[in-house]
Amino acid sequence: MAFKNWDKELSEENLREQIVQAKEAWKQAKATEPRAESVYYNQSEDLITIKLKNGAIFSFPPKLGQGLEGASPEQLADVWLPPSGSSVHWESLDVDFGIPELIPGIFGTKSWMAELGRKGGKATSTSKSAAARQNGKKGGRPKKNISVNS
């Protein structure tokens, strides 16, 4: 018996080999990637808190997570982990995040992250204002040196 896989013929032997490779890849990921032990929404601090299997604790405000902004406390509290601890899920919000992506601060798609960065760049603070004033005293941001080769 053979199965069609897009444009390649996939035999049962090839399928068994791919299953073995997938299991090995899963073992490797389990051994090297961070995994969650527990997750909960802390309403008083407005934080999603994830305890990792290595003992570290990771928290983030829901407004940073794509699909979590504007969710009710009840919806945020309805979070669960699969047995592998590889991701967190909010069924009622149809939101899923992989633990390896959350740790470096990836809270959504590239466009979502770009928007978060844009909003962060617009933020004002006394130190940011002071730095801008100091830069202005020096003549502002240096002009780019654009040379034209003839």
Per-residue model confidence as pLDDT tens digits over 7-53: 567 788 888 888 888 888 777 766 667 889 999 999 999 999 999 98
What would the pLDDT profile of 79-97 be if each residue is shown by its tens digit? Answer: 999 998 999 999 999 999 9
Compute the CA torsion angle 36, 41, 45, 51 (nearest 10 deg): -10
Query: Where do the structural domains in the chain lie, given as residue ranges?
Result: 36-108
Q: Please check whether the domain covering 36-108 is classified as CATH 3.30.2020.40.
A: yes
- 114: tokens are 């770009």
CA distance 145 to 50: 48
Which has the closest alpha carbon to 3: 16, 57, 132? 16
47-52 sheet: strands from edge to edge = 36-42, 47-52, 57-60
Whole-prediction pTM value?
A: 0.58
